[in-house]
Amino acid sequence: MTLFQNGLFGCLKKLTIIILIVAIAIPLRYGSTSPSYLAVRLIHSMFSLKNSLIPDKTRPTLSADYRAFEDLIRMKPLTKIDTSVDPLVIIKELRLTMGQTNISPKPAECQIRKEIFKYNAHTTDGYWVSNQLKSSSKNSDKILIYIHGGGFMTGDINTYSGFECYLSRIFNINVLHVEYRLVPEHPYPAAVDDTIALYHALLDQNISSSRMMIMGDSAGGGLTLQTMQALITRELPVPRGVILLSPWADISSSGESYTRNRPIDPILFDHNSTWVAAQILGPKQIHFSHKDPLISPLYGSFKGFPPMYVNVGTAEITEDDSREIVKRAKQANVDVTLEVAVHLMHVYPIFYLYYPEARNTIDNINEWMKTKFD
């Protein structure tokens, strides 16, 4: 074997060893073997490196990791809504896009169990999510009911299980994911009926409301408010607390932030409130004003609400929904905490894997929950 061949063989051997080390180290580093997820993380890491070298002088408080995630979002924005196309076609495409996201995969150790909740003749699917540091039972420990976002059109246990597993671990709590029915196949009030039926069923299982909290993001935040208002109207016991992440509580989208923040919102910049409202209401839309409290809970009563934690960013069009919720809740003498994240996007805590701002907010919520459960 020539000197050249020996050198080439040595280089190939070293390259093979490096590739093997990288192939093992990267999945270990990110806790997943999913190629698509690992590709997202590697791209994010490259963007983070770039942003660490190029500061944002107009937003100096943002981490390089957060700005890198913004870059990721802008690489592949949500499907643009063409109102001339059949709405169901658009929504199915949105669901497919959401279903294929590899942003927050479920950890292998996280346990998920389906339960069908029955109240009278109504059934609602729910999923128990457990990723706790210690084993527990729904009959003996605290429960966080999670109502997911997605404009009432998208979202399910598959798209939210990663985040819910994280909440279960950080909060050391059983998370109950509500798989409510989606529009346009099931227009208003199907989703509200589902959440109320599940809550009723929990009470019928002798689970005390004092052991429960309800958390929702975006449209799920609005649905959380609708659920609370319905519980109070029916004189049912309310949960220990309510947590809202960027709640969408006004389907009329009348807040000034819907205009002010549109140019800087990387997620909802193309939000078409009229089209979305039509999908939510279906054939009933001619009977409702978009400011009707039944469908826009911002305009409903907050009297009798338990303590609330509201989180919102200043780079999202729904910012004013949160501010107005807090204002109206305080007027009703509700114990409410508002966390405003400067320059941060819609539902930013959901992307906890990518930047410290999300993890810090989840930690803040955890501390708040501890004080309310004590």
Domain boundaries, the chain: 1-75, 87-373
First to last CA, the chain: 75
Question: What confidence score (pLDDT) does residue 52 get?
Answer: 96
| Ranges 37-41, 200-204, 357-361: which has the least confidence | 37-41
Question: What confidence score (pLDDT) does residue 20 get?
Answer: 43
| Ranges 243-257, 266-280, 337-351: which has the least confidence | 266-280
The tokens for 312 are 């919102």
The tokens for 23 are 């192939």
For the chain, counts of helices (H) and of strands (E) = 11, 8
Cα–Cα distance for residue pair 18/46, rounded to 1 Å: 19
Per-range mean pLDDT, top range of 81-90, 120-129, 131-140: 120-129
User: Does position 175 have pLDDT exceeding 90, yes or no?
Assistant: yes
Q: Across-strand partners of 115? A: 126
User: Does position 285 have pLDDT exceeding 50, yes or no?
Assistant: yes
**pLDDT (mean) for 296-311:** 98
User: Does position 21 have pLDDT exceeding 50, yes or no?
Assistant: no
| Ranges 74-88, 108-122, 130-144, 248-262: which has the least confidence | 130-144
pTM: 0.91
Cα–Cα distance for residue pair 73/103, rounded to 1 Å: 10
Cα–Cα distance for residue pair 295/168, rounded to 1 Å: 30
User: Judging by DSSP bridges, how do beta strands 336-341 and 143-147 pair with one another?
Assistant: unpaired
- CB distance 361 to 338 below 8 Å: no
Cα–Cα distance for residue pair 339/364, rounded to 1 Å: 9
Of 272, 281, 336, residue with least CA distance to 305 = 336
* Choice between 140 and 167, residue whose per-residue pLDDT is larger: 167
| Ranges 15-24, 249-258, 269-278: which has the least confidence | 15-24
Question: What confidence score (pLDDT) does residue 82 get?
Answer: 81
Question: What confidence score (pLDDT) does residue 290 get?
Answer: 87
Range 87-373 classified under CATH 3.40.50.970: no
Over residues 202-211, the pLDDT tens digits come to 999 999 999 9
Alpha-carbon Rg for the chain in angstroms:
22
**H helices of the chain, where?**
3-30, 35-53, 64-75, 87-99, 157-171, 190-204, 219-233, 257-260, 273-281, 319-331, 356-373
For the chain, the average pLDDT equals 89
